[in-house]
Amino acid sequence: MISKPPGVEDIFPDRIDRWNFVKDTAVSVLRRYNYRELVVPVMEFTEVFARGIGADTDIVSKEMFTFEDRGGRSLTLRPEGTAGVVRAYVENGEYNRLSICKFFYCGPMFRAEKPQKGRLRQFNQFGAEIFGSPDPYYDSEIISVVNRIAAETGVGPFSIHLNSIGCRDCRGEYTAKLKEYYRKNSDQLCPDCKRRLETNPLRLLDCKNQACAALKADAPVIRDYLCSGCGTHYTGVKHYLDLEGIKYEEDPHMVRGLDYYTRTTFEFVSERLGSQSAFAGGGRYDYLVEQFDGKPTPGVGFAAGMERINLLIEDAKIPRSGPECFIMHSGGDSLVKGVQLVNMLHGVGISADIDPEVKGFKSQMKRADRENARFALIIGDNELASGRVSVKDLSSGSQEEVDFTAVDSYIISRR
């Protein structure tokens, strides 16, 4: 037997109703907020992620699935969605069409992390990106979208962690202070952080190493160094969240694991997830479009993990899907009628199934039950003689005879 590689999952029909419920809820909320779906490739040239996410991040330096194509070019399976969406936005000159572009996407992402509960090597995200405005309203709108999806999927108690990590103007003084603090404690830093202290000191705040993480508590916080533009922006985001009654906790040390962020960063966290507690995260990235050689265009977005949200609603009662009709026959002419009926129903948009083998009605009824069918359509000798079908509602147990040609309108009238 060949098994699957570590950190990937098969999702069988017993989990698919919950899975689709999460996806459908997310898409319904995103459409309500006027986001349009965008499908971008699962693989990109490696440079898209190296440039977009940052060479010093764990994602780029340790976790990418990278390989060469036959022409010797380096390709990578996308570890996240934003960099590819920005690449597509610039390459297609989207800013020439709409001044504000609101996109959403869903699909698999790949990170070579150590697999554990809620942490996979192939996982699925849905996410959204807004291009074209620095207005703090949009930061709060993105948080509002995730908040609504979390409420409508019923993930249970969660908290929103919020921070601002400033812009190019305020980072200079702050990173100097950060370097000063960490240099004093450099003997406690992991080898990666010793290197990153010189190249990208903000990354030290995101290190998972125990000793480095402990140092974070007393590190200077960027909020004390925000320039007036970033301070006003941060106040604006909180103002809009307050207007909507969305509760958040300010977390001055949260920088997130990707280099592209400016100003707002946020995470949605549930204690019930254990160590992988964030089920969604995002923020603003006002320089990313120009990093991809596009016209300077501000952006803000989020992504949420499908598997983590599914874990949070594991015990929820999600209606199981099944065919509307399961057709039962006794072989011969009854099977012929059954096949005609199943074809007629498919033609008018009713889901229906039939087992062509001749089996007893009891065993066919069991199968209809297992398939979670709504109606059993029975074609026995009496029905053949009368040109009618016995329609049994499997949830109420009630049964009616319906003319063969009227079965479709009968089923539709009971939806």
Binding residues for ligand HAM restricted to 246-265, rule: CB under 6 A: 257-258
Q: Token pair of 236, please?
A: 């604006």
We find the least distance from the C-beta atom of residue 78 to ligand HAM, in angstroms, to be 10
Considering beta carbons, is residue 269 or 376 the nearer one to ligand HAM?
269
**Which string of x and - marks every residue 117-156 that binds ligand HAM (by CB under 6 A)?**
-xxx--x-x-x-x---------------------------
We find the least distance from the C-beta atom of residue 113 to ligand HAM, in angstroms, to be 5
Residue 216 engages ligand HAM in binding (rule: CB under 6 A): no
Binder to ligand HAM among 303, 365, 378, 407 (CB under 6 A)?
A: 303
CA atoms within 13 A on the CB side of 66: 15
d(CA 142, CA 129): 8
177: amino acid identity, one letter: K
We find the least distance from the C-beta atom of residue 347 to ligand HAM, in angstroms, to be 41
Q: b or e along 37-47 (b: 16 or more beta carbons within 10 Å of the residue's beta carbon)?
A: ebebeebbebe
Stretch that binds ligand HAM, among 11-19, 182-190, 212-220, 300-308 (CB under 6 A): 300-308
Stretch that binds ligand HAM, among 8-16, 114-122, 319-327, 376-384 (CB under 6 A): 114-122
Q: Which residue has the tokens 């965008």?
A: 38
Which of 328, 325, 394 has its CA nearest to residue 364? 328
Which of the 8 DSSP states describes residue 81?
Answer: S
Considering beta carbons, is residue 203 or 337 the nearer one to ligand HAM?
203
What Å distances lie between residue 227 and 135, 264, 297, 330, CA to CA? 16, 14, 20, 80
Which are the contacts of 281, defined by CB distance < 8 A and separation ≥ 6? 256, 265, 266, 267, 268, 302, 303
Residue 324 engages ligand HAM in binding (rule: CB under 6 A): no
d(CA 203, CA 24): 35
Binding residues for ligand HAM restricted to 44-63, rule: CB under 6 A: none
Stretch that binds ligand HAM, among 37-45, 209-217, 298-306, 357-365 (CB under 6 A): 298-306
Which of 302, 287, 260 has its CA nearest to residue 60? 260
Residue 111 engages ligand HAM in binding (rule: CB under 6 A): yes
How many binding residues for ligand HAM (CB under 6 A)?
Answer: 27
Binder to ligand HAM among 38, 167, 193, 278 (CB under 6 A)?
A: 278
Task: Read off φ and ψ for residue 138, nearest 5 degrees.
Answer: -70, -35
We find the least distance from the C-beta atom of residue 198 to ligand HAM, in angstroms, to be 25
What Å distances lie between residue 314 and 17, 29, 156, 258, CA to CA? 11, 21, 11, 29
Considering beta carbons, is residue 294 or 322 the nearer one to ligand HAM?
294
Binder to ligand HAM among 52, 166, 282, 323 (CB under 6 A)?
A: 282
Q: Which residues bind ligand HAM (CB under 6 A)?
A: 80-82, 111, 113, 118-120, 123, 125, 127, 129, 257-258, 278-283, 301-305, 307-308
